[in-house]
């Protein structure tokens, strides 16, 4: 698999004790290299103002640069719970550019790619950085795909947290579907939050924050990927790949086994082959236990587009009442889309 990455992504919050640490990409890159999975690596680039401003207003871009320049060591961004230092605007712009380079590779080659980036992006709303996120990398890639002429883009988000920022930019041909712990940070994406938007849908599967069975999680995503793709018929599939759902993650932890990434990837690769001529781009979001990130991405890198066996009722029955209620509302929302 083509990775887009550069060690400069470690420069944001370097030397600060923080869970969203440089090792989330530096040590992960090392681990993937040791596993023989990191041979096909391209550098990213700095995203242009014109590319970022498809999602974030120029006033926000300028504010981030101004506040970072005024920082002596590190400080909270004024809009939310995300630390910045002097390097943060440059690294965030490069992370968004990595997502764009990954997209450009995939659009040209029809092969999957993975933007191994930080800071993550899916909590960043147009004018509000928060939740460790500054620029919404996957949203910027989605808008770029639309600008390339692809009418329908689907963003799949299996991070532990709801991507409130990505949901905020959905619409105009960009659809969004997320599973996430609920109630949990940032508090959005409940059972009733299923939306018809302009040429798009936004769908939410809240999961019991105390944890869900691994087979239930796999069965739910198998169903969601098939049903949402069948209705949305995306031309490009983007994935907010956060691995903080894995058991033992110090921030998230839904008690889910890291091995599920193989099943998720199989379903996504099959959908990309069916609907998108293979156009599938992964962008790293959360995940704070480095070995679990390495294991998960390793499984994705080895994935094929062999369709997974259809989920069984027994597996979906591993989920609870809230999840079943949400799946029913998602189904009803898709039925009238």
Active site residues: 123
Question: Binding marks (x or -) toward Zn ion, 282..301, rule CB under 5 A?
Answer: ----x---------------
Question: Half-sphere exposure (CA, 13 Å, Cβ side) for 196?
Answer: 9
Question: Under the criterion CB under 5 A, does residue 159 sit at the interface with Zn ion?
Answer: yes
Rounded least distance, CB 161 to Zn ion, Å: 4
CA quadruple 93, 268, 123, 247: dihedral positive or negative? negative
Residue 161 in the binding site for Zn ion (CB under 5 A): yes
For residue 220, the minimal CB distance to Zn ion (Å) is 18
Which is closer to Zn ion, CB of 38 or CB of 160? Answer: 160
- Supply the minimum distance, in Å, between the C-beta of residue 295 and Zn ion: 17
Q: Is the dihedral of CA 138, 140, 145, 146 positive or negative?
A: positive
Pairing between β-strand 195-197 and β-strand 200-208 as defined by DSSP bridges: antiparallel
Residue 135 binds to Zn ion (criterion: CB under 5 A): no
Q: With respect to Zn ion, which residue has the nearer C-beta, 244 or 311?
A: 244
Instruction: Please identify, using beta-carbon distances, which residue of 22 and 286 lies nearer to Zn ion.
Output: 286
CB of 186 to Zn ion, least distance (A): 10
| Range in contact with Zn ion (rule: CB under 5 A) among 76-84, 143-151, 152-160, 218-226 | 152-160
Q: Is 160 in the site for Zn ion (CB under 5 A)?
A: yes
Q: Which is nearer to Zn ion, 160 or 221 (CB)?
A: 160
Q: How far is the CB of 84 from Zn ion (least distance, A)?
A: 19
The residue count for binding Zn ion (CB under 5 A) is: 6
Cite the DSSP H helix spans in 35-163: 49-52, 58-69, 88-109, 137-147
Choice between 2 and 123, CB closer to Zn ion: 123
Output 320-325 pairs: Cβ under 8 A, ≥24 positions apart.
320/208, 320/212, 322/182, 322/191, 322/206, 322/207, 322/208, 323/205, 323/206, 323/207, 323/208, 323/212, 323/216, 323/220, 325/191
The answer to whether 176 and 141 have CB atoms below 8 angstroms apart is no
Q: Are strands 153-157 and 236-241 parallel, antiparallel or unpaired?
A: parallel
Quote the CA–CA distance of 251 and 249 in Å, as a whole number: 6
Q: How far is the CB of 273 from Zn ion (least distance, A)?
A: 28
Should residue 244 be labelled a site residue for Zn ion when binding is judged by CB under 5 A? yes
- 157 binding Zn ion? (CB under 5 A): no
Name the burial class of residue 280, with classes exposed (0-12), middle (13-18) and buried (19+) by CB atoms within 10 angstroms of its CB. Answer: buried
180/187 Cα distance (integer angstroms): 10
Residue 89 or 242: which CB sits closer to Zn ion? 242
- Give the binding site for Zn ion (CB under 5 A): 159-161, 242, 244, 286
């Amino acid at each position: 698999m083509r990775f887009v990455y550069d060690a400069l992504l470690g420069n944001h919050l370097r030397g600060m004790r923080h869970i969203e640490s440089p090792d989330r990409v530096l040590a992960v890159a090392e681990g993937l290299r040791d596993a023989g999975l990191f041979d096909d690596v391209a550098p990213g680039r700095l995203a242009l103002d014109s590319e970022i401003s498809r999602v974030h207003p120029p006033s926000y871009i300028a504010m981030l640069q101004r506040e970072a320049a005024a920082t002596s060591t590190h400080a909270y961004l004024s809009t939310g719970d995300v630390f910045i230092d002097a390097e943060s605007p440059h690294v965030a712009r490069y992370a968004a550019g990595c997502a764009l380079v990954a997209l450009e590779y995939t659009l040209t080659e029809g092969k999957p790619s993975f933007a191994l980036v930080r800071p993550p992006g899916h909590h960043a709303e147009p004018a509000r950085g928060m939740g460790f996120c500054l620029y919404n990398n996957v949203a910027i890639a989605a808008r770029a795909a639309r600008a390339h002429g692809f009418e329908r883009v689907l963003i799949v988000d299996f991070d532990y947290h709801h991507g409130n920022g990505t949901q905020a930019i959905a619409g105009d041909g960009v659809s969004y579907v997320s599973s996430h712990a609920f109630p949990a940070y940032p508090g959005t994406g409940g059972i009733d939050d299923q939306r018809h938007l302009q040429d798009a849908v936004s769908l939410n599967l809240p999961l019991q924050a105390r944890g869900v069975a691994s087979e239930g999680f796999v069965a739910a995503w198998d169903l969601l990927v098939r049903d949402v793709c069948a209705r949305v018929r995306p031309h490009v599939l983007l994935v907010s790949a956060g691995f903080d759902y894995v058991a033992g993650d110090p921030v998230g932890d839904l008690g889910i086994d890291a091995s599920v990434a193989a099943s998720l990837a199989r379903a996504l690769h099959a959908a990309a082959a069916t609907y998108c001529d293979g156009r599938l781009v992964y962008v790293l979001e959360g995940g704070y236990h480095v070995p679990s990130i390495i294991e998960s991405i390793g499984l994705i890198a080895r994935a094929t587009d062999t369709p997974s066996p259809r989920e069984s009722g027994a597996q979906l029955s591993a989920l609870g009442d809230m999840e079943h209620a949400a799946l029913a509302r998602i189904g009803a929302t898709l039925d009238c889309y």
